[in-house]
Amino acid sequence: MGNLWSGRFKKDMDEAVKKFNASIEFDKRLYNEDIDGSIAHVKMLAENEIISSDESRIIIKGLETIRIKIESGEIVFDINDEDVHMAIETRLIEEIGDVGKKLHTARSRNDQCQVDLRLYLKKEITKIKEVLIYLEEVILDKAEKYNSDITIGFTHMQHAQPVTIGFMFMSYFQMFKRDIERLDDTFERMNYCPLGSCALAGTTLDIDRHMTSSLLGFNAPTENAMDSVSDRDYSLELLSNASISMMHISRWAEEFVYWNSSEFSYISIDDSYCTGSSIMPQKKNPDMAELLRGKVGRVYGDMMQLFTVMKGTPLAYNKDFQEDKESLFDAVDTWKASILIFANMLEKTEFNLEEINKQLNKGFLNATDIAEHFVKLGIPFREAHSIVGRMVKVCEDNNCDFTELTDKELKQIDERISKELLGDISISACVNNRLSFGGTAPKEVIRQIEVGKAWIREI
3-state DSSP assignment of residue 425 = coil
Mark whether 77 and 61 lie in a shared domain: yes
Asked whether the bond before 16 is cis by omega within 30 degrees of 0, the reply is no
CA distance 232 to 318: 12
DSSP assignment letter at 268: E
Mark whether 186 and 257 lie in a shared domain: yes
| CA contacts within 13 A on the Cβ side of 109 | 17
CATH number for 242:
1.20.200.10
Residue 20: the pLDDT is: 85
Alpha-carbon torsion 140, 142, 144, 147, what sign? negative
Residue 423: the pLDDT is: 86
Residue 5: the pLDDT is: 46
Among 307, 342, 357, the domain boundary falls at 357
Mark whether 286 and 315 lie in a shared domain: yes
pTM, full prediction: 0.94
Mark whether 56 and 38 lie in a shared domain: yes
Q: Which of 233, 214, 205 shows the shortest CA–CA distance to 108?
A: 205
Angle, helix 287-310 to helix 233-259, in steps of 10 degrees: 160
Alpha-carbon torsion 225, 227, 229, 234, what sign? negative
| CA contacts within 13 A on the Cβ side of 37 | 29
Mark whether 192 and 307 lie in a shared domain: yes
Compute CA distances 434 → 6, 225, 315, 324, 364, whole Å. Answer: 73, 56, 56, 49, 17
Residue 15: the pLDDT is: 81
**pLDDT, averaged across the chain:** 96
Mark whether 280 and 164 lie in a shared domain: yes
User: Per the domain annotation, does 242 fall within a domain?
Assistant: yes
Residues near 142 by beta carbon (within 8 Å), at least 6 away in sequence: 165, 166, 169, 346, 347
CA distance 258 to 267: 9
Mark whether 28 and 172 lie in a shared domain: no
Q: How far is CA 103 from the centre of its chain?
A: 37
The one catalytic residue among 72, 156, 262, 436 = 156
Mark whether 77 and 24 lie in a shared domain: yes
User: Per the domain annotation, does 422 fall within a domain?
Assistant: no
The burial of 417, by beta-carbon neighbours within 10 Å (0-12 exposed, 13-18 middle, 19 or more buried), is given as buried
**Domain total in the chain:** 2
CA distance 417 to 411: 6
CA distance 317 to 311: 13
3-state DSSP assignment of residue 193 = strand
Please identify every stretch of the chain with a pLDDT value under 70, giving residue numbers as ranges: 1-11, 13
Residue 1: the pLDDT is: 47
The burial of 252, by beta-carbon neighbours within 10 Å (0-12 exposed, 13-18 middle, 19 or more buried), is given as buried
For residue range 82-92, list pLDDT tens digits in order: 999 999 999 99
Contact assessment for residue 189 and residue 98, using Cβ atoms and an 8 Å cutoff: no
Residue 8: the pLDDT is: 62
Mark whether 43 and 123 lie in a shared domain: no
Contact assessment for residue 343 and residue 289, using Cβ atoms and an 8 Å cutoff: no
Mark whether 186 and 248 lie in a shared domain: yes
User: Per the domain annotation, does 120 fall within a domain?
Assistant: yes
User: Per the domain annotation, does 400 fall within a domain?
Assistant: no
Mark whether 153 and 268 lie in a shared domain: yes
- Type of residue at 252: W
Residues near 161 by beta carbon (within 8 Å), at least 6 away in sequence: 153, 365, 368, 369, 430, 440
3-state DSSP assignment of residue 96 = helix
Whether 385 is catalytic = no
User: Per the domain annotation, does 247 fall within a domain?
Assistant: yes
- Type of residue at 359: Q
Mark whether 137 and 254 lie in a shared domain: yes
Whether 156 is catalytic = yes
List 152's β-bridge partners, or say none: 162
User: Per the domain annotation, does 268 fall within a domain?
Assistant: yes
User: Per the domain annotation, does 438 fall within a domain?
Assistant: no
Among 342, 357, 372, the domain boundary falls at 357
User: Per the domain annotation, does 148 fall within a domain?
Assistant: yes
Q: Which domain holds residue 20?
A: 6-105
The one catalytic residue among 6, 52, 261, 277 = 277
Among 105, 124, 148, the domain boundary falls at 105
